[in-house]
Structure 1
C-alpha cells in the first residue's frame, strides 16, 4: 500500500518545485516606469524625478541608479548594501527618497537647478538576475520680468514704443496688439542670450497720429508657463494738433499783414505823388521868373 502511493507523492513534489521555479521567475521579472512626457521645473528651483517598479517589488537588495548616459555622468546611485553615491557634479544637490523602497519606488530630488541639469535622465533597477530601465526628459524654464514700456519720438514719423523684459528661458515669444486685438508687426526686435543662457528681450513698434493709441505687449515662454503683459495708451500730447481757435487767428493775422503792406504801399505812392507835385511847382515858378523881363510884369 505504501509503495503504491510513491508515484503520487513524487508528482506532487515535482509540481511544487515547478511552481516555486515559476513564482521565482515571475518575481525577478519587472518593468521600470517613469512619468509620460517631459517634466518642467524652474531654473534655480527643485524637481522630483519619480521612478518605480511594476509590479511593486522591494528594491532594497537591488542597485538603483539615476544617470545621464549621454553625458557619461552618474547622478545618484543606491547600492544593495544600503549605501549611496552622489555624482561629482551633483554633490550636495540630490537626495534619494527611500521611504517607498519596499514597494519599488526610489524618486530623485534635485535642487538649485541650472541649465546644465536640463536633458534626459535614465533610471535603472538591477537585481541579481534581472535588469530594466527607463528614461525621462527634464525641461527648465525661467519666467522673465514684467515688460517695461518705454515711449520716445521716432524721427518725424510718430512715436516708438519699446517693450523690455529680462530673465527668460527658453526664448520667449513677443506679441503686440492694439485695442481691437489686431496683431502689430514690430519695427525691430532683439532677443539676446547671456552667457548663462538667459534671454533678454527688446521689441519696438512705431505708431502715428492716425494709429490706435492703445497698445499691449505680451511675452509668453517657449514652454508652458505664465504670460507677462503690459499695456499703455499713448497720450495726444505726443501728437500736437492745431487748435480750433488757432486757424481763424492765423487768418486774421494774415489779413492784417496784407492790410499793413497795402497801407505802406499807398503811403509810398502818395509820398511820391506829393514829391512829384512839389517838383513841378518849383519848375513852374522858375519858368515864370525868367519870363518877367519879357512880359514887363512884376512877380505876383
Structure 2
C-alpha cells in the first residue's frame, strides 16, 4: 500500500487537532462583584473547566486598571516576581496544593484601597488560552470628623473639619442646627500610598440662635455616615470683631509689659538687698576684727608696761647691791 503526501498531512492534522482538543479548557469565576473590607484577606476565585491540572501551565493575574499591571505570575512551576506591581509583593499567593485540580484562585492579604479594580485571571497552555475578569470593591470606614476652631475670619468664625482613612472617597458637608447645608470652601483631598482618603474642609460661620454647627462625612456607596457637632459660645462672636481683637491684643501686650517690668524691678530690688546684706556682713566682720586687733594692742601695751616696771625693779636692786658693796669696801680700807 502506497502512502501519499496527502495521507501524511491528514495524519499530522488529526494529531494536532487531537492534541489541541486535549488542551482546550474554559476559565470560570464569580459574576458578582467581590466586596472587600480594608485590612481583611480575600480570595479571588478562578478555576478551569474541565478540572485539568494547572501545574505545568502559565497562570497570570492582572489588574486592568494599571498599565502592565501584573499582580501575580506562575510559570514553569515557579513564581515569577519580575514586573510585579510593588504594593502586591508579599500579599499574593496561589493555592499550590489545589493546582492539580484546576484551582487557580488568588489569595490577597491585608486589603488596602489601591486593591480596588478589575482583575483578569489569564490561563495559557501551549496551544490554548482563556481568561476571566473579576471586579473588586474595597470598603474602608474612616475616622469620625474632627472639628477645630480656626479663629476670626472675615465674615465670621472659621471652622475646620477633617477625617481620614476612608475608601472610596467620602463627601464632607457643613450643616447648621436646622439641617440646612452651609456654603463651605472646596474640600482638600489627599490619598495616601495605600489608597485611603483624607478630606478637609473649611467654613466661615456667623452667629445664629443656637450657634450649633455640624460636620458630616458620608459615603453613599458603602452606606456609611458620621457627624460631629460643635457649639460656639456667643462671647466668641462678640470678641471676634477686629476692634475688640486689637484692643484685647493691646491689653495683653500692656499687661505682659507691666508684669515684665514689675518682675525686673523686683529682681533688681532683691539683688540690691542681697548686695546690701553682704556689705553689712562684711562691715560687721571688719568691726569684729578691729575690736580683736584693739584688744591685742592693749594687751601688748599692758605687757610692755609690766615688763618696764619689772626691769626698773631689777635695776634698782642692782644699784642697791652695788652701793652696799662700795660701802663694805670703804669700811674695809
TM-score, structure 1 as length reference: 0.55
State which of 51, 54, 58 in structure 1 corresponds to 2:52. Answer: 58
Distance 1:169 1:221 in 2: 8
Distance 1:198 1:60 in 2: 36
Task: Give the number of aligned pairs.
Answer: 215
In the TM superposition, residue 96 of structure 1 has moved relative to its aligned partner by: 0.6
- Between structures 1 and 2, the one with greater helix share: 2
Aligned Cα RMSD in Å? Answer: 3.9
Instruction: String of CA shifts for 1:138-176, please: whole Å, max 9, x gaps.
Output: 445554332111124434743333212234444321122
Instruction: String of CA shifts for 1:203-241, please: whole Å, max 9, x gaps.
Output: 133332335533221223475263332222333443459
Matched, 1:35 2:30: yes
| 2:326 matched residue in structure 1 | none
State which of 180, 187, 191 in structure 2 corresponds to 1:190. Answer: 187
- The runs of 5 or more residues in structure 2 that have no matched partner are 1-16, 240-333
Distance 1:74 1:194 in 2: 22
Distance 1:170 1:144 in 2: 10
Q: 1:124 to 1:200 in 2, by over 3 A?
A: closer
Matched, 1:218 2:216: yes
Secondary structure at 2:187's aligned position in 1?
Answer: strand
Q: 1:203 to 1:211 in 2, by over 3 A?
A: farther
Distance 1:99 1:106 in 2: 10
Distance 2:209 2:186 in 1: 20
Q: Is the 2:157–2:206 contact (alpha carbons within 8 Å) kept by the matching residues of 1?
A: yes
Q: 1:209 to 1:92 in 2, by over 3 A?
A: closer
Distance 1:109 1:49 in 2: 6
Q: Is the 1:178–1:212 contact (alpha carbons within 8 Å) kept by the matching residues of 2?
A: no
| 1:277 matched residue in structure 2 | none
| 2:81 matched residue in structure 1 | 87
| 1:48 matched residue in structure 2 | 43
Q: Is the 2:113–2:196 contact (alpha carbons within 8 Å) kept by the matching residues of 1?
A: no
| 1:1-300 matches, cutoff 5 A | 30-41=25-36, 46-54=41-49, 57-60=51-54, 63-68=57-62, 71-79=67-75, 83-88=77-82, 89=84, 90-98=88-96, 100-101=98-99, 104-112=102-110, 117-127=115-125, 130-140=128-138, 142-155=140-153, 157-186=155-184, 188-193=185-190, 196=193, 198-210=196-208, 212-221=210-219, 223-224=221-222, 226-239=224-237
